[in-house]
């Protein structure tokens, strides 16, 4: 792993940056977007994530709502990661992320900035925050696949 991605200082900065300047932080009026509203049961996050899929490709993804640093930053990073990817690619990113959260395996090529959350799995009470956006995307992909 590159040093860049091992340094906790860098992790913090990545999260700070995505929390204070979340990417793709808006919603779309376009009715062809998929939409998932996630209201966490154990914390107070309340995010809506939207995604446009064109012929198996994620052509756009965006989100809005209120959330803590962890949920906001992780969702922001995720939107960056999967925009322009195929559904299959997005699924392997999400699965790699879950593997990292489970403290099993770290795939830095796929996860890129998301490696900032490599230790969040040690804080059981933050796992829901760190995965809320991923759950939303997963749900929408499933929706798309079953409607095919």
Partner 1 sequence: MLNVKEIRKDFPMCVKQDAGNGKVYLDNAATTFKPYSVIEAVTRYYTDESVNIHRGDYDLSYQVSDEYEQTRKTVARFLNCEEREVIFTSGASASLNLFAYGWAQKFLKKGDVILSSEAEHASNILPLMKAAELTGATIEYIPLTEEGELTIEAFKGAMHDKVKLVSIAHISNVLGFVHPIKELTKITHEYGAIISVDGAQSVPHIKTDVKDWDIDFLSFSAHKMLGPTGVGVLFGKYALLDQMDAFMLGGGNNARFDICGNIQLKNPPFKFEAGTPAIEAVLGLKAAILYLEKVGMDEIEAYEHELKTYAVSQLKDLKNVILYNPHAGTGIITFNVEGIFAQDTAIYLNSKGLMVRAGNHCAKILVEVIKTSETVRASVSFYNTKEEVDRLVDALRTITLEQCIDLSIM
Measured CA to CA, the distance from residue 63 to residue 61 in angstroms comes to 7
Q: Tell which positions 75-114 bind partner 1, by CB under 8 A.
A: none
Provide the 3-class DSSP secondary structure of residue 101: helix
Nearer to partner 1, 12 or 88 (CB): 12
Partners of 54 in beta bridges: 57
3-state secondary structure of 78: helix
The yes or no reply on residue 39 touching partner 1 (CB under 8 A) is: yes
Question: For residues 21 and 37, which CB has a smaller minimum distance to partner 1 in the complex?
Answer: 37
CA 24 to chain centre: 12
For the CB of residue 147, give the shortest distance to partner 1 in the complex, in Å: 20
The residues of the shown chain that bind partner 1, judged by CB under 8 A, are 8, 11-12, 15-16, 19, 37, 39, 41-46, 66-70, 72, 116-120, 122-126, 128-130
């Amino acid at each position: 792993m590159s040093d860049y991605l091992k340094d906790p200082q860098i992790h913090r900065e990545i999260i700070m940056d995505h929390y204070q300047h979340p990417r793709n932080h808006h919603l779309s009026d376009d009715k062809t977007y998929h939409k998932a509203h996630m209201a966490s049961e154990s914390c107070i996050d309340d995010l809506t994530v939207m995604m446009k899929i064109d012929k198996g490709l994620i052509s756009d993804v965006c989100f809005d709502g209120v959330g803590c640093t962890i949920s906001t930053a992780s969702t922001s990073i995720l939107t960056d990661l999967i925009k322009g990817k195929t559904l299959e690619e997005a699924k392997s990113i999400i699965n790699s992320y879950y593997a990292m959260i489970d403290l099993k395996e770290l795939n830095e090529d796929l996860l890129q900035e998301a490696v900032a959350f490599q230790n969040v799995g040690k804080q059981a009470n933050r796992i829901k925050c760190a995965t809320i956006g991923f759950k939303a995307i997963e749900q929408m992909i499933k929706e798309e696949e079953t409607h095919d």
